[in-house]
Amino acid sequence: MKLKTVVSGDMALVFLGEDIPAVGPRFKSKEAAVEVARQYLEKISELSKEDQNAAFQIVLSRKTNGLYSLVIGGPSQVVGRLNNLDELLVKRFRRGLNRKLFILTCFVDGVEGQECLVLTEGLGAVFYAPGTIIG
């Protein structure tokens, strides 16, 4: 099954399963993508060890150039920052948050489009985002 991926600069978005958005940076190299995805998971693991009830928050904010940034953070540090998302990708991502779930992962440029590492490598983190802040 081929999934339709929305691409915005260095970012990609795809909807999985019951319309759950998977979002993250795009890479040309699979090794680089896997490394960054593992870094995300390590940061999340560290934060979870510090506080079992750690609340994660995502903040979408519009920049002066008209593009958006999405910051995912825990109580003491930023887990991931996705920059230069265009308005179309942000609108689609917002619509996908109606279940208040999303997946942070990485994508690799492939011959047949974007390869989503949560599907091919099992590398991604699922977030429950009831307190999303859209600025």
In percent, how much of the chain has pLDDT > 70? 88
**Nearest by Cα to 123 from 33, 10, 49, 47:** 33
Handedness of CA 20, 17, 55, 81 (dihedral sign): negative
34 class by beta-carbon count within 10 Å (0-12 exposed, 13-18 middle, 19+ buried): middle
**pLDDT of amino acid 105:** 93
Tell me the C-alpha distance between 118 and 107, whole Å: 9
**pLDDT of amino acid 36:** 93
**pLDDT of amino acid 43:** 83
Listed as ranges, residues in the chain with pLDDT below 50 are: 1
| Residue 124 φ/ψ, nearest 5 degrees | 180, 155
Each residue's pLDDT tens digit, 82-101: 888 888 888 888 887 777 78
**pLDDT of amino acid 37:** 93
Which amino acid is it at 98? N
